[in-house]
Structure 1
């Protein structure tokens, strides 16, 4: 069997195999060493980044920093360290990082134009971090969704609704909507509307409603519950019954107050309000 040196004759257009080997082997060895070095640098760098993130997270937790701000800081540090790691790996192969930076900048403009919605969510996330209209754990209503704030990331806000549905909303939709924070104040009102029959004396009904509320746990004494006539309807006076409680007890107070008032009205012998039905045209 003929060797490669016998098949390819030496000449001006062809180099001897020995000379090709002399030229290629050092390059292959150099590339192999660089590849091994890049792989080692990648794994060591990732370990160092993980170590720095864990140390940073422990430091932020010891300072009792807001969970949202803590997530942002660790995310930004992770992204920055990974960028430096990639640049260091490229330097091993002798790639000019200055030209690469210009290429990345040009690509960033193109991506920014294509992902304008994503960038608007990022900008809105910065707004939420700086002005803090709510924090993790607060009960809020944003973009038409009510729930408990689970997480605020760079691009989206996650809520758990009252029926235990995990809901993720883009930060731009959050920042441009009306934000209601039910946890910002130390207590909130539970608004109940009670329709009375026309034959019931409002003062008697108010007294029965107040007595019914007195047996419910977690209703605040200060401010005291409000029981007043809200308006006059066709069926009779309509009361507003408004006990106050901490946000954590809102639904417990709301459910128990309605049951207690309904039971008290039945025990007092109050008649049901009459409801007039409009006649249908023939």
Structure 2
């Protein structure tokens, strides 16, 4: 092969390589523009349907990654590079990462489902994963809960979804459970009437449903009265403590004797 033939071969192959590189660049930039448009449309549609912003960002990023990987594989295939082994390598790497991070991926998947199903929202008072408190943040991997004693606790989303969820803020009213032990000499029906009127006057006690005051039990000391007002969960502890004070005040004003257990004296 003479010098002229070599120059013609190099020129021809260089032209082909340059054309392929130029075409690949066009594919890359057009593909990236199309991917951006697709992701923007997905986020716009989810935004119009009031989907959670965190979930919108998460799905948009996932779609963008998948489309970008597909674009790169397509460009490599255009250059004649075998992409089957490359795809198998990606699949193997994904399987290895999934096995190593199975717990994290479980929390990730549970977080995505929580953002879709909305079993609770930020500000709700809940019991999740054995932790009771107010939800401060919903994350893709964990949920931040502030307990009543002001401790910030992060619970894995996988544990939340695998356990029972109690949402105390989902309904407009929550019942406060208290009891009043009376002496045997106290008229229980009169006590029920007095307590029902007094509890209904406590601030933030709901009128619907009305407070429930009933004779719960009778023991050796005397009748036991159940006192159950309803209130919104934001006022639960205020009503709880006010109910205790109301029971004491009603007993004092009515002059009820202190309940004392009966004593049996046997003379030997």
Does the CA contact (< 8 Å) of 2:107 and 2:158 recur in 1? Answer: yes
- Within the candidate set 137, 145, 166, 1:159 is matched to 145
Task: Check 1:270–1:152 CA distance in 2 against 1; reply closer, same or farther (3 A cut).
Answer: same
Q: Deviations over 1:129-160 (max 9, x none)?
A: 33322222222112221112222222222212
1:205 aligns with 2:188: no
1:181 aligns with 2:172: no
Give the aligned partner of residue 25 of structure 2. Answer: none
Q: Secondary structure in 1 aligned to 2:216?
A: strand
Unpaired segments ≥5 residues, structure 1: 1-44, 278-282
Task: Check 1:234–1:130 CA distance in 2 against 1; reply closer, same or farther (3 A cut).
Answer: farther
Compute the displacement of 1:198 (Å). Answer: 2.0
Task: Check 1:112–1:253 CA distance in 2 against 1; reply closer, same or farther (3 A cut).
Answer: same
Give the aligned partner of residue 65 of structure 1. Answer: 50
Give the aligned partner of residue 129 of structure 2. Answer: 143
Q: How does 1:96-245 map to 2 (within 5 A)?
A: 98=83, 101-245=87-231
1:254 aligns with 2:240: yes
Q: Deviations over 1:225-268 (max 9, x none)?
A: 11001122332221111111222221211111211221221222
RMSD: 3.6
Q: Secondary structure in 2 aligned to 1:134?
A: coil
Compute the displacement of 1:89 (Å). Answer: 10
**Mean alpha-carbon deviation: is it higher for 227-236 or for 77-86?**
77-86
CA distance in 2, matches of 1:215, 1:155: 45
Q: Secondary structure in 2 aligned to 1:211?
A: helix
Q: Deviations over 1:190-229 (max 9, x none)?
A: 1112222222211122122123213311112222111001
1:75 aligns with 2:75: no
**Mean alpha-carbon deviation: is it higher for 76-85 or for 191-200?**
76-85
- Within the candidate set 260, 263, 266, 2:249 is matched to 263
Unpaired segments ≥5 residues, structure 2: 1-31, 264-268
Task: Check 1:181–1:102 CA distance in 2 against 1; reply closer, same or farther (3 A cut).
Answer: same
CA distance in 2, matches of 1:268, 1:129: 54
TM-score by length of 1: 0.66
Task: Check 1:97–1:164 CA distance in 2 against 1; reply closer, same or farther (3 A cut).
Answer: farther
Task: Check 1:161–1:121 CA distance in 2 against 1; reply closer, same or farther (3 A cut).
Answer: same
TM-score by length of 2: 0.69
Compute the displacement of 1:64 (Å). Answer: 8.6
Q: Secondary structure in 1 aligned to 2:236?
A: helix
CA distance in 2, matches of 1:64, 1:209: 49
Aligned residues: 225
Q: Secondary structure in 1 aligned to 2:127?
A: strand
